[in-house]
Structure 1
């Protein structure tokens, strides 16, 4: 209990800083922009172009069937 006042001060200051950061993000539209970017990213990742690119860039795509044939 020796440092209780110090811990309370740290907790109050941290809460004020966190609250001000949240308020800033809400006021500037940060969450709306992040939601929009995430939905665009998910739409791209599920598109046929992204699937073809993912398969083309996977160096292990042909090794698994070869390993099964050799076993």
Structure 2
């Protein structure tokens, strides 16, 4: 264990940096904003407009399913 003190210093520094990032995100309300954005995204993905857009962007989606049925 020649370099144990070096590994301990790196681990402590990394933990300190990670904790400061988490503290910053909590204090700025980052998690609240992300929760709202994710709920809005999920609500929109369930709308008929979103389904129509998915179908329009990928017209070959059901092509494989239809070819498997005919085989």
Taking a change above 3 Å as real, the CA distance of residues 7 and 60 of structure 1, as seen in their structure-2 partners, is same
- 1:6-63 Cα distance to aligned partner (Å, 9 max, x none): 0000011000000000000000000000001100110010111101111122120463
TM-score normalised over the length of structure 1? 0.86
Q: Counterpart in 1 of 2:39?
A: 39
| Unaligned segments of structure 2, at least 5 residues | none
Aligned length in residues: 69
Supply the RMSD in Å over aligned alpha carbons.
1.4
Q: Counterpart in 2 of 1:25?
A: 25
CA distance in 1, matches of 2:9, 2:62: 60
Q: Counterpart in 2 of 1:48?
A: 48
Q: Counterpart in 2 of 1:63?
A: 63
